[in-house]
Amino acid sequence: MHKTTASPTPTHCPYCALQCGMGLAPDPGRDGGLAVVERAFPVNRGALCGKGRTATEVLSSRVRLTEPLIRTHATGKLEPATWEEALDRIAEGLSRTRAEHGPDAVGVFGGGGLTNEKAYGLGKFARVVLGTSQIDYNGRFCMSSAAAAHQRAFGLDRGLPFPLEDIPRTGCVILVGSNLAETMPPALRYLTELRENGGRLIVVDPRRTRTAEQADLHLAPRPGTDLALALGLLHLVVAEGRTDEAFIGERTSGWEEARAGAMAHWPELVERITGVSVPELREAVRLFCAPEHAMVLTARGPEQQSKGTDTVGAWINLVLATGRAGRPLSGYGCLTGQGNGQGGREHGQKADQLPGYRKLTDPAARAHVAGVWGVDPESLPGPGRSAYELLDALGGDVKSLLLMGSNPVVSAPRAAHIEGRLRSLDFLAVADVVLSETAELADVVLPVTQWAEETGTTTNLEGRVLLRRRAITPPAGVRTDLFVLHELAARLGVEKGFPTDPEEVFEELRRASAGGPADYSGITYRRLAEEDGVFWPCPAEAASGDGGGDGEDSALDAAPDDPAAELAGEPSAERLGNSAAELAGGRVEFASTSAHPGTPRLFLDRFATEDGRARFVPVTHRAAAEEPDAEYPVLLTTGRVVAQYQSGTQTRRVAELNAAAPGPFVELHPQLAERIGVADGEEVTVVSRRGTAVAPAKVTRSIRPDTVFMPFHWAGEGRANTLTHPALDPVSRMPEFKVCAVRLERTAPAEAA
Ligand SMILES: Nc1nc2c(c(=O)[nH]1)N[C@H]1C(S)=C(S)[C@@H](COP(=O)(O)OP(=O)(O)OC[C@H]3O[C@@H](n4cnc5c(=O)[nH]c(N)nc54)[C@H](O)[C@@H]3O)O[C@H]1N2
Ligand SMILES: Nc1nc2c(c(=O)[nH]1)N[C@H]1C(S)=C(S)[C@@H](COP(=O)(O)OP(=O)(O)OC[C@H]3O[C@@H](n4cnc5c(=O)[nH]c(N)nc54)[C@H](O)[C@@H]3O)O[C@H]1N2
Ligand code: SF4
Ligand SMILES: [Mo]
């Protein structure tokens, strides 16, 4: 049974990017050994969704892995093994591939749910120990288009350049393709308060979701047409003389070309492309332009498209043309998704990236990070393939894979094909907390600790770095991901540089990030323990206030009075692990170590581009990779339901959540249901050029008649990703999860059984 601490440990939810604060109190009578208790935390103000409330159930040994598994030659099955055997086997598998086919034949796949320390460790492991360029992660499926658009327009990618608390005080929010009410329920309050304060909410979603129901105006475009929609709104802004010429002149570049792109998208054309009427377009422009302040927020709807980067760029153009960026209570933001969706994209598990959001192709960045790692910059590989391209190359020139924190058998586009690629590997190792569908295919499965059993930091959707604390002792057979990296590194000949203490890893991450765009060098575990998180950039030395991330790396090295440095070497558990006295009520009696307050709001004085100006991007609308035709006449879009999380490995193991969302379904309009002859609840077969899925019909007027929706949380015959199209955005390499063409058939009764 679990050993517990004496009083509630203040920590954060294991799931989404809101990273709600919660307390964990020992409760030996409960499955998992901990009870979730309320904790005052500014982001969620005590509120939690059902997933967060029930998260401790996944700690139970009944549902999770508690010993390593190795596939034996004799039975072909996964059988229990010792840690020594499992780690030896992985080291052997990876080194054999490397010896026979070179370092780039070994792939690494990470996840945006991994803590900053793990993401950092994984990227370093790939580059320093394996010497491979072939590393990427599931965040590529999540927010990479918004990240790319951010970089292009603002020179920096932090999902939200302002805290959530600014939302209720702005005048109008256009929320594009976010079903916040289901995907981040406690955050819905910010929108409710916006409206209570007299602000307006416009929701853009092909479905009338619970979120859209809250809106003053709901625009329901055809999936895949947000780019045209944003251009049409900008066209009207120009035509109605609502541009902010002073702002455009002083703080932006590239307006003339962007303007020309918008002028080619006159309202009637946009109505034809999107299905949103001209009066609705005009109303949206009126609501958006009337108040002094306004925001555009996007999520996966417009981003998970093969033109996601341009689509987000078009929304940013609208924000810039109306002067709604780089000043308080206004701006563009992306609502990142995974628990560490922000931090996970900053510290080097991305194919083209080094820690601190540095570029792998930048010689200065390579020199800096190689210095921290104690290696020759020349030894660092160059950029590798993006997530889908990496998965697609498995069994081809990538022969072995180490996977941590993702379940692509369920979550990758064109999943049956990717499942086949995974099966064709010479060697697959998976570290997970449960036996996921991907772990089931592995040669070696490592059972690792989870959120409440280990300490680490995450960075939430606001760019707020948080301390997620250990609250309970893990079961005897599991180890941390950091232990896995440490042990594998040692077996592959790198004895030093992969500590198992998360705080030690974070101390190195601070130095590696110092001076980079995502500068964490002024953040310490101690600060995180006493503050409600710290927004990056936070350089070690107090900056002059522009938040420009100009901290010197030497600042950290040359800080003898830095208490963190003095304490280095002490076992972390004594300060942070689960010392009840210290952690009770979040009171940790240490002084702060850095004067820099962190940067809740970016771009107020200048944008992070070379000339300080935001860049308009010239964009024009283009079709989805696969448009409906006679054979596949219906549009499929995919997404989430409130009670399940991602590929479902964790939430499908919680009874209460399964009762609320027991399985896949196909949401369709009564007109479409009638046309194919299915009633609500009857099985329907959905066919795309990639494959076939079967699930019960959910007939509802809340969706467009030309579109069906499937959640992607389940494996098996109801797996939505059997159907999805792997077309990639040319800039971000984000797959087109939100649009493909399908045909619907009534499932024959025999088949349905
Ligand atoms: N319950 C729950 N919450 C979660 C998660 C989860 O799995 N379950 N996952 C977390 C993660 S990683 C993420 S990324 C976020 C995602 O959070 P969201 O982006 O809110 O989630 P989705 O359901 O993928 O997509 C949002 C909406 O986009 C709409 N949509 C579909 N196609 C289009 C289109 O072409 N244009 C527009 N404008 N809208 C479209 C869908 O109808 C859907 O309502 O949620 C996080 N929170
Ligand atoms: N059709 C369709 N497909 C989609 C999407 C969509 O909207 N539509 N959305 C995409 C998006 S936005 C995302 S983010 C992806 C997510 O899809 P996945 O990448 O599959 O994400 P998860 O299901 O969260 O998988 C995380 C796995 O890691 C395990 N895990 C959790 N914490 C840890 C840890 O600390 N260490 C280790 N080693 N393992 C851990 C979990 O148990 C789980 O098995 O799906 C994408 N796929
Ligand atoms: S909204 Fe997200 S972070 Fe908050 S409790 Fe739910 S899953 Fe956890
Ligand atoms: Mo995501």
pLDDT tens-digit readout, 67-109 = 999 999 899 999 999 999 999 999 999 999 999 999 999 999 9
* The pLDDT value given to residue 7: 82
Distance 50 CA to ligand 3 centre (A): 8
User: Where does residue 264 rank: exposed (0-12), middle (13-18), buried (19+ CB within 10 A)?
Assistant: exposed
Tokens representing 475 are 């079961």
- The single-letter code of the amino acid at 377 is P
Tokens representing 255 are 């307006």
Average pLDDT of span 326-340: 97
Tokens representing 738 are 């939100």
Q: Which atom of ligand 3 is nearest to the CA of 44?
A: 4
CB 172 within 8 A of CB 329: no
Q: Is 608 in the pocket of ligand 2 (CB under 6 A)?
A: no
Distances 515 to 177, 350, 369, 555, 562 between C-alpha atoms, Å: 34, 19, 11, 10, 18
Confidence of residue 581 (pLDDT cuts 50, 70, 90): very low
Percent of residues, the chain, with pLDDT higher than 70: 92
| Cα dihedral value 18, 22, 26, 27, nearest 10 | -80
Q: DSSP characters for 556-585?
A: HHT-TT-HHHHHTTS-HIIIIIS-HHHHGG
Closest CA to 306 of 209, 219, 206, 413: 413
CB 734 within 8 A of CB 303: yes
Confidence of residue 30 (pLDDT cuts 50, 70, 90): confident
Q: Is the pLDDT of residue 1 over 60?
A: no
Distance 15 CA to ligand 2 centre (A): 10
Cα 406 to the chain's mean position, in Å? Answer: 11
Percent of residues, the chain, with pLDDT higher than 90: 90
In a 3-state reduction of DSSP, which class is residue 168?
A: helix
Going by DSSP bridges, is the β-strand pair 534-535/464-468 parallel, antiparallel, or unpaired?
Answer: antiparallel
Please enumerate in sequence order all residues whose Cβ is within 8 A of that of 748, keeping only pairs 6 or more positions apart, or say none: none
Q: Is 87 in the pocket of ligand 2 (CB under 6 A)?
A: no
Q: Which ligand is nearest to the CA of 303?
A: 1
Confidence of residue 593 (pLDDT cuts 50, 70, 90): low
Distance 112 CA to ligand 2 centre (A): 8
Q: Please state, in angstroms and rounded to a whole number, the distance separating the CA atoms of residues 691 and 209.
A: 27
Distance 336 CA to ligand 4 centre (A): 7
Residue nearest (by alpha carbon) to ligand 2 atom 28: 405
Judge if the upstream peptide bond of residue 537 is cis by omega within 30 degrees of 0: yes
Residue nearest (by alpha carbon) to ligand 2 atom 33: 405
Q: Please state, in angstroms and rounded to a whole number, the distance separating the CA atoms of residues 344 and 229.
A: 31
Average pLDDT of span 701-711: 98
Average pLDDT of span 313-338: 98
Residue nearest (by alpha carbon) to ligand 2 atom 36: 405
CB 451 within 8 A of CB 14: yes
Q: Is 339 in the pocket of ligand 2 (CB under 6 A)?
A: no
Query: Pick the residue with more confidence: 569 or 168?
Result: 168
* The pLDDT value given to residue 32: 83
Q: Please state, in angstroms and rounded to a whole number, the distance separating the CA atoms of residues 503 and 448.
A: 18
69-141+340-583 and 160-335 agree in CATH topology: no
Average pLDDT of span 532-558: 58
Average confidence score pLDDT of the chain: 92
Please enumerate in sequence order all residues whose Cβ is within 8 A of that of 574, keeping only pairs 6 or more positions apart, or say none: none
The alpha-carbon radius of gyration of the chain (Å, integer) is 25
* The pLDDT value given to residue 595: 84
CB 523 within 8 A of CB 130: no
Which CATH number is associated with domain 69-141+340-583? 3.40.50.740
* The pLDDT value given to residue 749: 66
Mutate to test the pocket of ligand 3, among 11, 12, 16 (most ligand atoms within 8 A of CB): 16
Q: Please state, in angstroms and rounded to a whole number, the distance separating the CA atoms of residues 548 and 545.
A: 8
Mutate to test the pocket of ligand 1, among 18, 141, 183 (most ligand atoms within 8 A of CB): 183
Q: Is 433 in the pocket of ligand 2 (CB under 6 A)?
A: yes
What is the H or E stretch that residue 512 is in? helix 502-513
Contacts 24+ apart (CB under 8 A), 498-501: 498/121, 498/124, 498/125, 498/129, 501/571, 501/572
Q: Is the pLDDT of residue 49 over 90?
A: yes
Cα 4 to the chain's mean position, in Å? Answer: 31
For ligand 1, which residues put their CB under 6 angstroms from it?
Answer: 16, 142, 176-180, 182-184, 204-207, 209, 223-224, 226, 299-302, 337-338, 637, 639-640, 642, 644-646, 709, 738-739
Residue nearest (by alpha carbon) to ligand 1 atom 15: 337
| Cα dihedral value 422, 423, 427, 431, nearest 10 | 60
Q: Which ligand is nearest to the CA of 22?
A: 3
Q: Which atom of ligand 3 is nearest to the CA of 16?
A: 2
In a 3-state reduction of DSSP, which class is residue 482?
A: helix
Mutate to test the pocket of ligand 2, among 66, 138, 410 (most ligand atoms within 8 A of CB): 138
What is the H or E stretch that residue 728 is in? strand 725-728
Closest CA to 738 of 712, 717, 714: 712
Average pLDDT of span 513-535: 96
Pick the CATH number of 9-59 from 3.40.50, 2.20.25, 3.30.70, 1.10.3680: 2.20.25
Q: Please state, in angstroms and rounded to a whole number, the distance separating the CA atoms of residues 530 and 467.
A: 10
Distance 356 CA to ligand 1 centre (A): 27
Distances 513 to 132, 161, 357, 594 between C-alpha atoms, Å: 21, 19, 8, 15
Average pLDDT of span 195-210: 98
Average pLDDT of span 18-22: 98
* The pLDDT value given to residue 715: 98
CB 656 within 8 A of CB 54: yes
- The single-letter code of the amino acid at 78 is L
Q: Which ligand is nearest to the CA of 311?
A: 1
Q: Is 114 in the pocket of ligand 2 (CB under 6 A)?
A: yes
Convert the pLDDT of each residue in 461-482 to its tens digit: 999 999 999 999 999 999 999 9
Q: Is the pLDDT of residue 752 over 70?
A: no
Pick the CATH number of 160-335 from 3.40.47.10, 3.40.309.10, 3.40.228.10, 3.40.50.12280: 3.40.228.10
Please enumerate in sequence order all residues whose Cβ is within 8 A of that of 599, keeping only pairs 6 or more positions apart, or say none: 463, 535, 536, 537, 538, 547
Closest CA to 580 of 22, 12, 9, 26: 9
Which CATH number is associated with domain 634-746? 2.40.40.20
For ligand 3, which residues put their CB under 6 angstroms from it?
Answer: 13, 15-16, 18-20, 44, 48-49, 51-52, 184-186
Tokens representing 378 are 């020349």
Q: Is the pLDDT of residue 569 over 60?
A: no
The domain spans of the chain are 9-59, 69-141+340-583, 160-335, 634-746
Residue nearest (by alpha carbon) to ligand 2 atom 20: 407
Convert the pLDDT of each residue in 387-406 to its tens digit: 999 999 999 999 999 999 99
Closest CA to 72 of 600, 615, 583, 442: 442
